[in-house]
Structure 1
């Protein structure tokens, strides 16, 4: 029998339950929704989690679609799933845990006796450590962003090649291969010998069907490539960026973009213009170097110095 929290499943079965991570202010137990899909045949273990940032819902959409399709009788190995990781933030549709004002994906590997976020990170990290592969499903918060996968362990890490292979297998077409901040699950788990990636499934308010489908297909690619289910998914060439150039607004007003997500841009190409509310030009911003137009703000109004967009640079094919 395989268990995760109160979920348990014999070989060839699926089980659902809750993973206790603390209590609310009225003393009610907080239980993250979890699933165990225990294959009829032996194999590796895949850990999947979603919504470690409470307003990033596309990963929840992926879990919502994938789990019902998993037939434990046709599965080799085990899939462990935490459907909602940042419980407090999810309840109020916020990015950070409102109990301790913490971004959950900066709290790993966590602390069993720490803050609210550290306790959740500790409990979910324990689950992730049981796996051979980890998918930490994210999206670009409410920004507009390419569907991409992030390799966050750093290119000199001993597990870099395994993480990059996992990113290629997930196959969103774009990979950001840049060492991430301390406290990310995709930084902490490779240190324990577990290949881990952050699929960043677009950016939206609510659910974005196209990005959810990218994620569903990506999870199935992983299941097929690593032998959990029958299939022939193989890594294909990905456009890889090794860093970001960020651009802010030189003046306040309304942003008008000249580049679309995924466009290749060259140094000197105009990325966006800022006008006043009546359409008069106030500023024009061009690319500082070559790259791919990767991410942009969703709302058109900006203040001086406010974030506008990002260009992926140091581009090659992975």
Structure 2
């Protein structure tokens, strides 16, 4: 029997339940939705989580579609799932936890006596730390972004090759291979010897079916490649970026992009122009380096210095 919160599953069974991680302001319990899929056969353990940022819902869309499709009778090993990590932010559709104004994915491995976010990070990491693989499902918040997978441990990390292979198996087509900030699960997991990736499934307000399907296929690719399920995986070449240039607006006004997501750009190419309300140009921004047009803001209106777009740089294939 494998137990996660109130979910318990014998071999060949699936169960869902709740993991208690604290209390709300009125003293009622905070219970995260969890699932245990205990395979009929022996094997590895994979931990999957979503919504550590409260407005990033594509990962939840993946879990919503994946869990019912996994037949525990055909599974070797165990799949452990936390469907919604950032409980408070999810309730109000905000990126950060409004209780402590923290970004959840900067607080791992957590602190059992810390802030609300640190306590949730601690409780979820107690599950993740015993897994053989970790998938931390994200998206580019509500911005427009490529479907990509992030390897955050850094190129000198002893598990970098394992994480890079996991990203290739997941197979979004694009990989951002840059060491992440302290406290990210995709950094802490490898430090504990667990290959971990951070799939960034596009960017949307609500959720986006195309990006969700990338995630669903990615999860099943991982389950098949690492022996949880039978089946072959076609390993496709990924486009990797090892740099990331971000651009702000030189003026207030309305943004007009000269490239679409996924386009190749060369140093000196115009990325976007800013006009006033009547179409008169106020500014123009060009690429500093060759790369791929990776991410943009969703709304056209900008203030001076406000974020507009990003270009993935130092591009190769693997």
TM-score with structure 2 length normalisation? 0.99
| Structure 2 residue aligned with 1:286 | 286
Matches within 5 A, 1:1-318: 1-318=1-318
Aligned equivalents of 2:23 and 2:289: distance in 1?
50
Q: Deviations over 1:91-121 (max 9, x none)?
A: 0101001110000000000011111000000
Q: Could you list the per-position Cα deviations for residues 253-273 of structure 1 after superposition, in whole angstroms to 9, with x for gaps in the alignment?
A: 000000000000001111101
CA distance in 2 between counterparts of 1:243 and 1:135 reads 22
SS in structure 2 of the partner of residue 35 of structure 1: strand
Instruction: Provide the C-alpha distance between the structure 2 equivalents of 1:21 and 1:86, rounded to a whole number of angstroms.
Output: 11
Shift of 1:289: 1.1
Tell me the distance in 1 between the aligned counterparts of 2:94 and 2:107.
17
RMSD of aligned alpha carbons = 0.6
Task: Tell me if the contact between 1:165 and 1:235 (Cα under 8 Å) persists in the aligned partners.
Answer: no
Paired residues of 1:109 and 1:183 also in contact (CA < 8 A): yes
Alpha-carbon deviations, 1:122-159, whole Å to 9, x = none? 01001001210000000000110000000000000000
Instruction: Please give the alpha-carbon distance, in whole angstroms, between the structure 2 residues aligned to 1:202 and 1:146.
Output: 5
> Does the CA contact (< 8 Å) of 1:262 and 1:293 recur in 2?
yes
| Alignment check: 8 A CA contact 1:58 1:211 kept | yes
Give ranges in structure 2 of 5+ residues lacking alignment.
Answer: none
Looking at structure 2, the residues matched to 8 and 152 of structure 1 have their Cα atoms a distance apart, in angstroms, of 32
SS at structure 2 position matched to 1:220: helix
Listed one character per residue, the Cα deviations across residues 156-207 of structure 1 (whole Å, up to 9, x for unaligned) are: 0000000000000000000000000001000111100000000000000001
In structure 1, runs of 5+ residues without a counterpart are none
Whole-angstrom distance in 2 between the partners of 1:235 and 1:135: 18
Deviation of 1:234 after TM superposition, in Å, equals 3.8
Matched pairs, number? 318
The answer (yes or no) to whether the contact 1:54–1:95 under 8 Å persists in 2 is: yes
Shift in Å, 1:235? 2.6
SS in structure 1 of the partner of residue 30 of structure 2: strand
Query: How far 1:43 sits from its partner (Å)?
Result: 0.4
* Cα distance between partner residues in 2 of 1:159 and 1:24: 38
Q: Deviations over 1:266-311 (max 9, x none)?
A: 0111110101011111111111110000000000000111100000
Report the Cα distance in structure 1 between the residues aligned to 2:238 and 2:207, rounded to whole angstroms.
25
In 2: Cα distance, 1:277 partner to 1:218 partner: 43
> Does the CA-based 8 Å contact 1:46-1:78 persist in structure 2?
yes
Residues 225 and 234 in structure 1, CA contact (< 8 A), matched pair in contact too: no
